Amino acid sequence: MSVSPIDSAIYGGLFTTPAMRAAFSDPARLQRMLDVEAALARAEAKLGLIPAEAAAEISAKADVGRFDLEKIGKGTELVGYPIVPLVKALGQACAGDAGRWVHWGATTQDIVDTALVLQLREGLDLIGQELDGIEAALAGLARRYRDTPMAGRTHAQHALPITFGFKCALWLAPLQRHRARLARLREEVAVVQFGGAVGTLASLGADGVRVMAGLADELALRVPVIAWHVGRDGLAEVACFLGLLTGSLAKVATDVALLMQAEVGEVAEPHQHGRGGSSTMPQKRNPIACEFILACARNVRQLVPVMLDAMVQDHERATGPWHAEWVALPQAFALSAGALHHTRAMLEGLIVDPARMRRNLDATRGMISAEAVMMALAPHLGREEAHHLVAAACDRALASGRHLREELGAESEVAAHLSAERLDELLDPGNYTGLATEFVDRVLAQRPASPD
């Protein structure tokens, strides 16, 4: 039975992906803890602190498939942590006296945190894979529609012409920055946790740092300068990154949903029979991917403050904040994966209607090009007077329903400085996209070159 939609057999496919769910599942979580215990035994055996045969036996038996997860769950409920029942089960599974060397010199949080780091590394890799696909899809759209004019909108109103490629480049640029953040963050969080009861490694004496380094080497992690039992900034930064990433995806989803409105109709999510349908209205094609991108992103943003709050930890081991991370961080990863999955599928199959974009450009009867006319008149009349003249013409066009060309053509001051041909040229929105195409090229130039 599932309480969270993330783990639901009904809703689960809408909120996350099987790969991310598997990475943070109970078997995966316990296996990562067993991986850490086995790595610790091997590191200590190399240093001569425990018998080599014991380390080999511990490593051989550190397989989650050997253990009763329900029994470990009941032990966790009793103790408050999974390590005690897990270590007991691992020790009992080992032959001979190898079991007494399990968990040598470690504390619960060493194992739990290091296991979490291994999960984060896998989760960030999965995010990177989806981000690759999204960036490629957006780059393709930006390139294909580099010169396709459409209405730029501010305050939900027509503003000036842009190109659809420019809009796609606006979506792409933050994701390129997130790519750089991801690469840096993946390295920064790949740090082993090993400090013993209060972070001093007193249980191992002078060998403590060597064991920590050996454990890090076994797991391909970095060695911290000091234990981070209560220094949770790295984990909080991971959560903030997920909030930033899904916020950018939500921006894309918001734009696509608005562009899908019947009154706009410039793009549409890829359609398959029944998707986004209504139980009563046969014509409906709802922006279902956008809706779940937005839902996932909203929930991730709510989890970010939990992780920031969990930084406030008391003394050398926390009373409560650590446990809050257990709830927040896996959910943030799961929901981020859902947002990424929907965004990638939507953009890879996005339906774009350039003809509708052109019709919408023309819908305001030339007024989207009012600034172009104003700027052409400004050298002759002054910017303020030119603005006043063109704004008055726009007001008359709005009231009369006529094209702005008619109202401007009737103005003697316009005719005195702009020929009919020049006025027609200025009122063509395709001629006033500024440096939109240049900015598309600038964003695309940030992408790494394809391998030969």
Taking every pair of Cα atoms in the chain, the longest distance, rounded to a whole number of angstroms, is 103
Residue 276 pLDDT more than 80?
no
**What is the second-level CATH architecture of the domain 364-436?**
Orthogonal Bundle (1.10)
Active site amino acids? 155, 278
Residue-range domain boundaries for the chain? 15-106, 107-191+228-362, 364-436
Query: What 3-state class would DSSP assign to 435?
Result: coil
Please state the CATH superfamily assignment of the domain spanning residues 15-106 in this structure: Fumarase/aspartase (N-terminal domain) (1.10.275.10)
- Domain 107-191+228-362, CATH number (from 3.30.1490.20, 2.70.240.10, 3.30.70.3270, 1.20.200.10): 1.20.200.10
Enter the tokens of residue 288: 């279902």
Q: Where residue 452 falls among pLDDT bands split at 50, 70, 90?
A: very low
| pLDDT one-digit tens code per residue, 16-31 | 999 999 999 999 999 9
Lowest pLDDT segment from 149-158, 215-224, 404-413: 404-413
CB atoms within 10 A of CB 27: 12
Mean pLDDT for the stretch of residues 284-312: 93
pLDDT in the model for residue 278: 60
pLDDT in the model for residue 215: 98
| pLDDT one-digit tens code per residue, 91-139 | 999 999 999 999 999 999 999 999 999 999 999 999 999 999 999 999 9
Residue 273 pLDDT more than 90?
no
Q: How far apart are CA 11 and CA 380, in angstroms?
A: 63
Q: Where residue 4 falls among pLDDT bands split at 50, 70, 90?
A: confident
Exposed/middle/buried for residue 180 (C-beta within 10 Å: 0-12, 13-18, 19+) = exposed
Taking alpha carbons only, the member of 98, 116, 100 closest to residue 108 is 116
Q: Where residue 224 falls among pLDDT bands split at 50, 70, 90?
A: very high
Q: How far apart are CA 363 and CA 124, in angstroms?
A: 45
Tally the C-alpha atoms within 13 A of residue 99's C-alpha that lie toward its C-beta: 12
- Average pLDDT of the chain is 94
| pLDDT one-digit tens code per residue, 198-210 | 999 999 999 999 9
Mean pLDDT for the stretch of residues 214-226: 97
- Given its phi and psi angles, is residue 162 left (phi above 0), alpha (psi -120 to 50 degrees) or beta? beta
> Are 15-106 and 107-191+228-362 equal in CATH topology?
no
Lowest pLDDT segment from 15-24, 106-115, 268-277, 345-354: 268-277
Mean pLDDT for the stretch of residues 283-301: 90
Mean pLDDT for the stretch of residues 218-229: 97
